[in-house]
Amino acid sequence: MAERIVVIGAGGFGRETLDVIEAINAAGGAPKWEIVGVVDDAPAAVNLERLGARGYPHLGGIDATRDILATSAMAIAVGSPATRALLAARLIEAGARFATLVHPSAIVGSQSRIGEGSIICAGVQVSTNVGLGLRVHLNPGAIIGHDAVLADDVSVNPGGVVSGDVSVGRGSLIGAGAVVLQGLSVGEGAVVGASACVTRDVLPRVVVKGVPAR
Ligand SMILES: CC(C)(COP(=O)(O)OP(=O)(O)OC[C@H]1O[C@@H](n2cnc3c(N)ncnc32)[C@H](O)[C@@H]1OP(=O)(O)O)[C@@H](O)C(=O)NCCC(=O)NCCS
């Protein structure tokens, strides 16, 4: 029997996550997930409109939907790592169960580990012996090299490349199309700008951009 799932976050990544869930359901056999709807404390009007057009209901905010959340798995589909971590803490306190979602077109190599609550989108490539923490988001087309370790609540935006043996600290964001060269470390809460090429270690909570990234 399909398990109930609620997507947290009515923004663009919320709808992309609905696509991932639908693709998992369509991949063969009985559908794995029954999509109940989307929860968001303060959805923008444009997002409510887009969600309606997508055919899924906005169920309400977290506090108003506690009963629904208690009987469903959840996917936190909020792109901001910091917001995601805060939401997770709030939901874990209420006994949340997080779904781990991997689009069927993603490739995950041998010995790689995917933390609970992670969302891996279409066309992602995860190499061998990669460690993904809790609630890691890999957006479409991201590539993660061999032996890389991404801590909890890391986001790699579309087309981002994390090379082999890189370590990415908790809550960091790797921008769209950015490249982190092999063996480097990106500190906790750091941001790598879109299209940057990271050639040196990035300190915690620092924003870097450009080629080479500064
Ligand atoms: C680097 C980044 C974090 C900077 O954000 P910010 O601090 O709000 O920066 P601002 O937009 O105020 O821009 C500040 C300056 O940096 C430049 N800049 C912004 N992003 C840049 C980037 N990725 N690479 C090079 N320069 C960039 C701006 O042109 C501006 O230059 P100026 O001062 O000469 O006018 C952000 O632009 C970024 O790239 N984030 C990743 C976003 C991403 O991946 N988006 C895709 C989502 S799917």
Ligand 1 atom closest to 207 (CA): 3
d(CA 90, ligand 1 centre) in Å? 30
- Choose one of 209, 211, 214 to mutate for the ligand 1 pocket test, by most ligand atoms within 8 angstroms of C-beta: 209
Cα–Cα dist 79/204, whole Å: 19
Is this model's pTM higher than 0.95 or not? Answer: yes
For the cut 90, the answer to whether the pLDDT of residue 95 exceeds it is no
- The alpha-carbon radius of gyration of the chain (Å, integer) is 17
Query: For residue range 25-82, what is the model confidence (pLDDT) as tens digits?
Result: 999 889 999 999 999 999 999 999 999 999 999 999 999 999 999 999 999 999 999 9
Cα–Cα dist 73/98, whole Å: 5
For the cut 90, the answer to whether the pLDDT of residue 172 exceeds it is yes
d(CA 6, ligand 1 centre) in Å? 32
Q: Report the pLDDT value the prediction gives residue 198, as an integer from 0 to 100.
A: 99
Tokens 């997770």 label which residue? 88
Cα–Cα dist 202/186, whole Å: 5
Q: Report the pLDDT value the prediction gives residue 153, as an integer from 0 to 100.
A: 98
For the cut 90, the answer to whether the pLDDT of residue 93 exceeds it is no
The answer, yes or no, to whether any atom of ligand 1 lies below 6 A from the CB of 176, is: yes
Range of the domain at 121: 100-202
Boundary of a domain, candidates 99, 131, 164: 99
CB 98 within 8 A of CB 73: yes
CB 214 within 8 A of CB 196: no
**CATH code of the domain covering residue 45:** 3.40.50.20
Claim to verify: residue 41 and residue 94 sit in the same structural domain: yes
Query: For residue range 103-153, what is the model confidence (pLDDT) as tens digits?
Result: 999 999 999 999 999 999 999 999 999 999 999 999 999 999 999 999 999
Claim to verify: residue 86 and residue 166 sit in the same structural domain: no
Which DSSP symbol is given to 106?
Answer: -
Q: Report the pLDDT value the prediction gives residue 59, as an integer from 0 to 100.
A: 98
What does the block give as tokens for 18? 């609905």
For the cut 90, the answer to whether the pLDDT of residue 212 exceeds it is yes
**CATH code of the domain covering residue 191:** 2.160.10.10
How far apart, in Å, do the first and last CA atoms of the chain sit? Answer: 51
CB 59 within 8 A of CB 6: yes
The answer, yes or no, to whether any atom of ligand 1 lies below 6 A from the CB of 175, is: yes
Return the closest-CA partner of residue 139 out of 85, 175, 184.
Answer: 175
